[in-house]
């Protein structure tokens, strides 16, 4: 979280690049990510997701990036996105400004 916030601040100050949104996870409920894999991603259980989201908001605030919106959780299916969202308590939901989900799910 700290690294992402510092990079976002540096991009703003040094390059004039402003980010509207920031997200620290990609398909976090997926359990197929391995260190030797060839696709990006990193597993975060639901409790770890909540901690990461709150940590990211805190780190952004410390860099005075109050307007940068935290998004979550960028799951690869709508069902997992909903599962993640429903698992968050009101504090976590309060710092998520946008919910992202991949569109890989098809109805069966």
Written as six digits, the tokens of 102 are 């991949």
Q: Are 23 and 72 in contact (CB under 8 A)?
A: yes
Question: Phi-psi category of 88—alpha, beta or left, where left has phi over 0 and alpha has psi -120 to 50?
Answer: beta
Q: Are 70 and 53 in contact (CB under 8 A)?
A: yes
pTM of the model: 0.89
Q: What is the pLDDT of residues 47-99, one digit of tens each?
A: 999 999 999 999 999 999 999 999 999 998 899 999 999 999 999 999 999 99
Written as six digits, the tokens of 88 are 């968050």
Query: What stretch of H or E contains 22?
Result: strand 21-22
pLDDT (mean) for 30-43: 78
pLDDT (mean) for 16-42: 85
pLDDT at 30: 86
25 vs 90: which has the higher pLDDT: 90
Average pLDDT, the chain: 91
């Amino acid at each position: 979280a700290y690294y992402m916030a510092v990079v976002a601040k540096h991009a703003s100050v040094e390059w004039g690049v402003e980010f509207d949104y920031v997200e620290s996870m990609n398909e976090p409920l997926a359990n197929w990510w391995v260190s030797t894999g060839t696709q990006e991603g990193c597993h975060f259980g639901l409790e770890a997701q909540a901690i990461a989201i709150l940590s990211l908001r805190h780190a952004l605030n410390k860099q005075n990036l109050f307007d940068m919106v935290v998004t979550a959780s960028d799951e690869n299916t709508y069902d997992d996105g909903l599962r993640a969202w429903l698992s968050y308590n009101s504090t976590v939901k309060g710092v998520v400004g946008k919910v992202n989900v991949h569109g890989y799910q098809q109805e069966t």
